[in-house]
Amino acid sequence: MCGIVAYVGRQNAMPILVEGLRRLEYRGYDSAGIAVHRAGGLAVFKAKGKVREMEARLPARLKGTVGIGHTRWATHGEPSDENAHPHTDSSERIAVVHNGIIENAGALRAKLEADGTEFTSETDTELLAHLIAAEKGDSLIDNVRSVLRRVSGAYGVAVLDGDHPEEIVVARNGSPVVIGIADKAFFAASDVAALVRHTQQVVYLDDGEIARLTKDGYEVTTLDAVPSEKTPSTIELDDMEFDKADFAHFMLKEIHEQPDAVARTLRGRLEPRFSTARLGGLNIEAKDLLRFKRIKMLGCGSAYIAGVLGAKMIERLARIPCDAEPAAEFRYRNPIIEQDTLYFAVSQSGETFDTLAAVEEVQRKGGTVLGIINSVGSTIARTCKGGVYLHAGPEVAVVSTKTFLCTLTVFALIGLYLGRMKDVSPAEGKRLLTALEALPEQMQQVLDREDEFAEVGRKYAHYDHAYFIGRNEGFAVAMEGALKLKEVSYIHAEAYPASELKHGPLALVTAQTPTIAIVPNDDLVEKNMATIEEIKARQGPVLAIAQGELPVEVEDLIVVPETHELLAPVLMLLPLQLIAYHAALARECDVDQPRNLAKSVTVE
Ligand code: AGP
């Protein structure tokens, strides 16, 4: 999704902005641009396509120490040079980059057009530039404040004014803005990835805050000009973590990082003495946790699917009714929030707009919501009362892989913790704890078989459609497997509960529609065999992901090691991730930045 970077200091801004934009490429975008103060006014360069295409348009010698940059993911208006940010007013005195959506843009734009303002783009952002330029206040920050008080919607913005060449104004409402504090230089960005190369000292803006940055300092106030007390925090991220190292793609690197990532998620959280887990950040006393009668997971996309699996794990271990719901569906159905329901917001980025809105809906109605988040200090993490961080390290590829499996690991820990306070015996707790300890090593064994999965990925790459089926946990694995395949390879992949196949979808099973069957070694193996036979009878090729040999013959069989039954999804997903990756490579897809997708969906 859109990305913002801004710099004010003593160095040449242009290469810093371009590098910052490169760091934001992983978020997904379709055009890029920068604006820099130079002698004689603002210089603006932008282009549809990749950052390198915009960079090709930059003059060799563009000097200026104050500038802003943007990667755009189209919302209002198609991807084009004209719609790329920064946007300026008619005199090119004001330049604005913006993440989010201005909801009352239509009415405000119509009024300006009626008064004779000519717009050069279809975006809602250009409106901001015209409105700020029309303000008559003495300072840029006052003019921006005045405009932002009149707009509704979500925004993170950065603004330059040719009449105030020493400063940048940034503001936030619903879309993240973080200020980076370096030596004699200040940065702003929508994502710490753009800053981490220069500084680890940051200040997060809260909604309704606006800041003025110069080379000598920054000041944060509210839109009503009340000073905000901000304490810088230190981000524990290494610039190298945003590097592909020797891997061809971030997706592949992150798939192979999973054993280490899961080991980090587990570190210090297992309590062998009592066969339980230790979770410091929940901020709820054990006795208070026990009063909850239900648990609900909220998230979007893969985070929602992880919630589906998490709900099954916790329900089985803690014998508390649990379910999961897509966050956007939840927030728009005026949900009944019960005091004895515990909500978990699941999000790797901690910035997904719909998940945040669901959290706020729960909190507004007096409910308790905890975060299962990867990005430390992200908006959802800060909004929740407490929670559990994944510690997976930054995930750069648009598709979730390591954060998905680390989320499952966290749910296993929560289930173990709650279960041991209820009916799970010490022996049963120990069985899960021992399986968790062994998990990273088992994951590594599966990943070491990449060649086997690559061959399968290539073999299935020519199909246009695929079904993924499973029962219970297997169905949730099928959902995530199908999502991975469609995201990166653009093969149409649909997940169905295996039991539902004969209620309709079987009509589409032919020799041209393979089915990927998830067959854990549980008490439903026979039922799954019956479904596989039905598919074979219609000439449908079957690829089975199982935990041992199967009594029926299938086109392809991938066997993963036995583990605790609740952890089987972790091992079964590894081949599915690599199959999706290699199918995408065979189809020459842009694996790390799939078309139309964004890493962090910060708009509705
Ligand atoms: C997963 O591969 C996706 N790209 C997507 O579904 C993602 O999980 C979803 O947008 C939620 O993101 P979050 O975890 O950052 O909230």
Catalytic residue among 2, 322, 406, 589: 2
pLDDT at 599: 74
Q: Is the pLDDT of residue 28 over 80?
A: no
Q: How much of the chain exceeds pLDDT 90, in percent?
A: 82
Q: Cβ atoms within 10 A of the Cβ of 490, count?
A: 16
For residue 238, what pLDDT is reported?
75
Is there a domain that residue 278 lies in?
Answer: yes
Would you call 2 a catalytic residue per the annotation? yes
On the question of pLDDT at 550 being above 90, the answer is yes
Closest atom of ligand 1 to CA, residue 348:
14
With a cut of 80, say whether residue 430 has pLDDT above it: yes
Backbone φ, ψ for residue 559 (5° rounding): -110, 125
Expressed in angstroms and rounded, the spacing between residue 307 Cα and the centre of ligand 1 is 12
pLDDT surpassing 90 at residue 240: no
Q: Which helix (H) or strand (E) holds 66?
A: strand 66-72
CA 390 – ligand 1 centroid, Å: 14
**Residue 55 contacts residue 15 (beta carbons within 8 Å):** no
Per-residue pLDDT band at 74 (split at 50, 70, 90)? confident
pLDDT at 476 exceeding the cut of 90: yes
Tell me if 11 is assigned to some domain: yes
436 and 505 fall within a common domain: no
Q: What is the pLDDT of residue 62?
A: 80
**pLDDT for residue 75 is more than 80:** no
Q: Fill in the amino acid letter for 143.
A: N
Rounded Cα–Cα distance for residues 141 and 212 (Å): 7
User: If pLDDT is split at 50, 70 and 90, which confidence band does 499 have?
Assistant: very high
Phi-psi region of 417 (alpha: psi -120 to 50; beta: other; left: phi over 0): alpha
- pLDDT class of 383 with cuts at 50, 70, 90: very high
Same domain (yes/no): 93, 15: yes
Phi, psi of 100 (to 5 degrees): 115, -165
Domain assignment of residue 602, yes or no: no
Which residue lies with its CA nearest to atom 15 of ligand 1?
Answer: 349
The alpha helices in 334-401, defined as continuous H runs, are 353-364, 379-383
Give me the mean pLDDT over the 565-587 stretch.
98
Question: Rounded to whole angstroms, how far apart are CA atoms 569 and 558?
Answer: 14
Check whether residue 21 and residue 147 sit in a common domain: yes
Q: Which atom of ligand 1 is nearest to the CA of 598?
A: 4
The pLDDT value given to residue 19? 94
Residue 23 and residue 17: Cα distance in Å, rounded? Answer: 10
Instruction: Answer yes or no: is 236 within a domain.
Output: yes
Same domain? For 466 and 408 the reply is no
In three-state secondary structure terms, 568 is: helix
CATH of the domain at 338: 3.40.50.10490
The type of residue at 582 is H
Largest CA distance in the chain: 80
Which of 249, 254, 302, 483 most suits a substitution to test ligand 1, by most atoms within 8 Å of the C-beta?
Answer: 302
CATH number for the domain that contains residue 219? 3.60.20.10
Total domains, the chain:
3
Tokens of 2: 């859109």
Range of the domain at 99: 2-241
Candidate from 346, 348, 488, 573 with most ligand 1 atoms within 8 A of CB, to mutate: 348
Cβ atoms of 483 and 456 closer than 8 Å: no
Q: Which residue has the tokens 């279809």?
A: 122
**Amino acid sitting at position 193:** A
What order do you get walking across the sheet with 201-204 strand by strand? 41-48, 31-38, 66-72, 3-8, 185-189, 178-182, 201-204, 233-234
Both tokens of residue 296?
A: 């609900």
How many other C-beta atoms can be found within 10 angstroms of the C-beta atom of residue 138? 8
8 Å CB contact between 172 and 379: no
Q: What are the pLDDT digits (tens) for 209-227?
A: 999 999 999 999 999 999 9
Neighbours of 91 (CB within 10 A): 12
What pLDDT is recorded for position 527?
A: 94
What pTM value is reported for the model?
Answer: 0.84
Taking the centre of ligand 1 as the mean of its atom positions, its distance from the CA of residue 474, in whole angstroms, is: 20
Residues 358 and 310 in one domain: yes
Residue nearest to atom 4 of ligand 1 (CA): 399
pLDDT tens digits for 88-116? 999 999 999 999 888 898 999 999 999 89
Are 398 and 411 in contact by the 8 Å Cβ rule? The answer is no
Is residue 599 among the annotated active site residues? yes
Considering the domain architecture, whether residues 219 and 258 belong to the same structural domain is answered as no
Task: Give the domain-ending residue among 215, 241, 267.
Answer: 241
Pair (87, 120) in one structural domain: yes
Query: Ligand 1 atom closest to Cα of 401?
Result: 2
Distance CA 15, CA 64 (A): 10
Domain C-terminal end among 241, 270, 303: 241
Q: What number is the average pLDDT over the span 312-341?
A: 95
CA of 107 to the centre of ligand 1 (A): 33
- What percent of the chain lies above the pLDDT cut of 70? 100
- The whole-number average pLDDT for the span 135-156 is 94
Q: Does a structural domain hold residue 600? A: no
Specify the 3-state DSSP secondary structure of 438.
Answer: helix
The whole-number average pLDDT for the span 424-448 is 98
Q: Is the pLDDT of residue 600 over 80?
A: no
pLDDT at 25: 84
* Residue 201: per-residue pLDDT: 94
Average of per-residue pLDDT across 32-59: 92
Residue 457 forms part of a structural domain: yes
pLDDT at 376: 87
Q: Within 10 A of 288 (CB to CB), how many other CB atoms are there?
A: 12
pLDDT tier, 358 (very low <50, low <70, confident <90, very high otherwise)? very high
- Is the predicted pLDDT of residue 77 greater than 90, yes or no? no
| pLDDT at residue 16 greater than cutoff 80 | yes
Nearest atom, ligand 1, residue 301 CA: 6
Which residue CA neighbors atom 3 of ligand 1 most closely? Answer: 399
Q: At 505, list the tokens.
A: 């979808």
Please check whether residues 366 and 481 belong to one and the same domain: no
Band (pLDDT 50/70/90 cuts) for residue 273 is very high
Alpha-carbon 75 to chain mean position: 18
SS (H, E, C) 463-525: CCEEEEEECCHHHHHHHHHHHHHHHHHCCEEEEEEHHHHHHCHHHHCCCCCCEEEEECCCCCH
Pocket test for ligand 1, best of 400, 488, 593, 599 (most atoms within 8 A of CB): 400
Please state the rounded mean pLDDT for residues 556-560. 98
Q: Which atom of ligand 1 is nearest to the CA of 601?
A: 10
Query: Which residue's CA is minimally distant from atom 6 of ligand 1?
Result: 301
The stretch 487-505 carries a mean pLDDT of 94
The last residue of one of the domains, among 417, 444, 471, is: 444
Same domain, 498 and 357: no
The whole-number pLDDT of residue 598 equals 75
pLDDT at residue 176 is higher than 80: yes
Same domain assignment for residues 47 and 69: yes
User: Ligand 1 centroid to 493 CA: how many Å?
Assistant: 17
Mean pLDDT of 470-490: 97
Q: Could you tell me the end-to-end alpha-carbon distance of the chain, in angstroms, rounded to an integer?
A: 12
- Mean pLDDT check: name the lowest of 86-95, 161-170, 423-432, 592-601: 592-601
Q: What is the pLDDT of residue 464?
A: 96
Confidence of residue 244 (pLDDT cuts 50, 70, 90): confident
In a domain, 322, yes or no: yes
Provide the pLDDT confidence category of residue 604 given band limits of 50, 70 and 90. confident
Ligand 1 atom nearest to CA at 352: 16
Based on the fold, state whether residues 7 and 105 are members of the same structural domain. yes
What are the φ and ψ backbone dihedral angles of 189, each rounded to 5 degrees? -160, 165
pLDDT band at 67 (very low <50, low <70, confident <90, very high): very high
Q: Considering only CA atoms, which of 31, 92, 34, 21 is closest in space to residue 67?
A: 34
Q: What is the pLDDT of residue 245?
A: 85
Do 227 and 354 share a domain, yes or no? no
399 is a domain residue: yes
What is the Cα–Cα distance from 115 to 506, expressed in whole angstroms? Answer: 60
Q: Which two tokens stand for residue 604?
A: 């509705």
Mean pLDDT for 522-533 is: 93
Q: Which residues line ligand 1 (CB under 6 A)?
A: 300-303, 347-349, 352, 355, 398-400, 487, 600-601
CA of 250 to the centre of ligand 1 (A): 16
* pLDDT band with cut points at 50, 70 and 90 for residue 155: very high
